[in-house]
Each structure stands twice: as C-alpha cells, then as structure tokens.
Amino acid sequence: MSFKLSRLSFFCFLLLPTILLAQEKPSLYKRFMNGKLMQSKLAQKFISSEKDSSRSAGFMVLPLLGYAPETGLEYGISGLYNFYLDKHDTLIRTSSIVLQGSLTTKKQSNLKLTTDIWTKGNNYHYITEIRYRDFPFNFYGIGDQTLKKDKDSLTQRLFRFKLEGEKKIVKNYYAGLGLVYENYAYTDEGPGGIYDQSSLYGKEGGKYLAFGISQLYDNRNTNIYTTKGYFARLVYNYAPDFWGKDNFEGSRINVDLRAFYPLTPKLTLGLNATYDEYFGNVPFYLYPQLGSDETMRGYYPGRYRDKTAVTSQAELRYRIHPRIGFAAFVGAGTAYSKKFDFSALKPSYGGGLRYFFDLEHNSSIRIDYGIGEKRPGEPRQTAFYLSLGEAF
C-alpha cells in the first residue's frame, strides 16, 4: 500500500526530525505535562529498541496531500492497524486492516479497505478487499513497447469486492476458496488519442464474477518482516458468462513465490517471483500491469500491460537498528501476449529506508526509490514510494 512520495514529502520532513528530537533530547518529554509516564509510553511506542511485552496492537496513519492538473487538490489518509486475534497464542501470525482513501477538489475519489486475518493456531486465513475508485489514470496502449508520447488520460470507475478463505490442512499447507466481483467503466478525457484509436475488447468497461481456489505453502518465521522461510501461493479463478457482451468470461492463474535467507543476524536476502495470466475473452482492463510499490518499482502502473506478466526481484534488507533499516533491490519483468522472451525483460532497481514504528509486529514505514528502463528518446523511468509495510 503506497502513495507516490512527492505527495507526502512534507510529512517525511516533519516526521523524521520529530523522531530525532525525541532521541536526542528526552528531557523535553519529561517536562511535557510533568510526565515520566508519557515519556515512557512515547519512547516505548516509537523510539525504544525494546518490545512492548503486552503484545499490543500497532497503528499508524499517514496523511495524503497533493496536486495535479487532472485532479486539482487531493487529500486523504492511509492507515494500518496490526494486531493478534489471540494474544495468548505466541505463534499466531499478525492480522492487519488497511484503509486508504482520498478525495479531490474535482470530485474524484479513491477508497480501499483490505483485511488479512489469521485465527488462533493459524488454522484459518481470511483475505478481503472492498474498493471504490473514480479517478484519472494514464493509458499508453497494450504490450511492452508503449511510448510516453502516446499517453492518454482516462477516468476509471471501479467497484471491487473480494473474499478469500484458506484452511490449514497440514503443517504450513493451506487450501482455500475465493470469490471476486469487479465492475469497470471508462471515460476518455481526451478523445482522439491512442485509447480512442485502438480496437480494445471491453473498451467501455464491464463486469464479471469469478470463483476461485487457492493453494498455499507458508513456513515464514513472520508474515510482516520475514527473515527466514518460504511462501508459495497459487490461485486459480474462473468467471462464467453471466452477462454476455464484452464482459469477461474465462480464467486466471496467479502464482506468487517468495524465499528468505538470513545472511547475518541483521542482513536478509529476499527473493520473489510472480506469474499472472488470463485466458478467454479478456477485456483490456484486466490485463496484468507492470509497476507498483511491490513489484517492478520504478514504473508507472499500467505503462506496460498485456495478457501475461512475469516479474522477479531480489532484495537485501539490512536492519542496522531495531528501529531503522535499509534495503537495496534489483529485478526484471515483462508483459506479453503470446510467447515469453528473455530479451524483452525490463530492469528494475533501487533502494530505500525503513522506519519500524511498531517492534511487536515489525511494522514499518517504507520509503523507496525505484529506477526502470530508458527508452530511446525518453527520460529514464523512475518513481518514489511511501508505503506501509514491506514490498514482499
């Protein structure tokens, strides 16, 4: 979950000096409200290198403020709440609730609520998402050779509901069922561009209801900041022909593989690979996209899209202090429609800073700078990200 850092840079400059001030001059907190108690709680929550023994929940809210010609002034929040469903279970994984929402002065909105819940004994795992989006985005065309000069501004209206549940069958292995409903609609803000000229299936939008099954192997030592273990998840979805016309009828396969190796007590190597492919009469808006704060960092989401996308990345994570960490990452990926070609892989690399605001759950604020390819006649593709939680 992230926003482009440029929208939140003012918050970073406010947050970091506050943390440093608290570290260097604790006497300020002692005097405030005559409070040793307040100093202790504040230091324990945001500064101390010691964990809170109460196994309490962790909470963080980041403000959003930005401006763009197509949106006007944008304002909102991004919040994360981490907790244990059973505090007495010392092996239970961290559950989380994430809320992200923004509005603009041009009456656009982007709202998203997701949950990731683990029950006692990690016997059940539930994932939900509810999203409403009425927001502009840039469309460049289909494939992995799109051009910046073809950028076309569209408005997407999307409603999504997703529910997945998995049950532990044997140690570390889960099987589950899922359901997802999506409804899309599009408005071309600049007729005559590449969107208007292209023959796209599902050009006006559409809807579908898909049913899925999932298989999961997960022996990670923690699901928030992993330093050891493996994660492998396969999801298959099928969407019947409920509505006809240009609505999606077909299937999707999504694979997510992760491995983590502790090189030293403070240094971890993380590896990640993904595969995402649609089959059937696939509308353009469902095509997998390269670029996000989690994979292929450095690319605008949707700059490259096609029926199939594969990505890979490696990340070195160095936790120099319980509260502070650094990361360096490198990856490659591509989107294609017919045949995978190694020569078509696009690079992604960069680095970032981590501040761990909650040691009990190892929850972090992540600032990353990603660098992508440089196409002929175009500037190199890059992006800043301010996120809650690790990329994978």
Could you give the count of Cα atoms lying within 13 Å of 375 in the half-sphere of its Cβ?
Answer: 14
Q: How confident is the model at residue 45 (pLDDT cuts 50, 70, 90)?
A: low
DSSP β-ladder status, 152-170 and 382-388: unpaired
Note the pLDDT tens digit of each residue in 323-378. 999 999 999 999 999 889 999 999 999 999 999 999 999 999 999 999 999 999 99
pLDDT at 153: 92
Angstrom distance (rounded) from CA 365 to CA 116: 18
Question: Is the pLDDT confidence value at 79 over 70?
Answer: yes
Strands of 190-266 (E only): list them.
205-218, 229-239, 249-262
Note the pLDDT tens digit of each residue in 243-286. 988 899 999 999 999 999 999 999 999 999 999 999 999 999 99
Note the pLDDT tens digit of each residue in 284-299. 999 999 999 999 999 9
Q: How confident is the model at residue 46 (pLDDT cuts 50, 70, 90)?
A: low
Tell me the percentage of the chain whose pLDDT exceeds 90.
Answer: 79
Q: What predicted TM-score, i.e. pTM, was given to this entire model? A: 0.86
Please say whether the structural domain 2-388 has been given the CATH code 1.10.1200.10.
Answer: no
pLDDT at 257: 98
CB atoms within 10 A of CB 240: 12
State mean pLDDT over 13-22.
38
Question: Is the pLDDT confidence value at 60 over 60?
Answer: yes
| Contact call for residues 80 and 363 (beta carbons, < 8 A) | yes
Question: Is the pLDDT confidence value at 13 over 80?
Answer: no
Angstrom distance (rounded) from CA 310 to CA 94: 29
Tell me the percentage of the chain whose pLDDT exceeds 70.
Answer: 88
pLDDT at 44: 60
Identity (one letter) of the amino acid at 359?
Answer: L
Question: Is the pLDDT confidence value at 308 over 80?
Answer: yes
pLDDT at 216: 98
Angstrom distance (rounded) from CA 273 to CA 277: 14
Q: How confident is the model at residue 126 (pLDDT cuts 50, 70, 90)?
A: very high
Question: Is the pLDDT confidence value at 26 over 50?
Answer: no
pLDDT at 311: 98
pLDDT at 38: 53
Note the pLDDT tens digit of each residue in 160-218. 999 999 999 999 999 999 999 999 999 998 888 999 999 999 998 999 999 999 999 99
pLDDT at 43: 57
Domain ranges of the chain: 2-388
Helices marked H in the chain: 9-24, 27-31, 36-42, 194-197
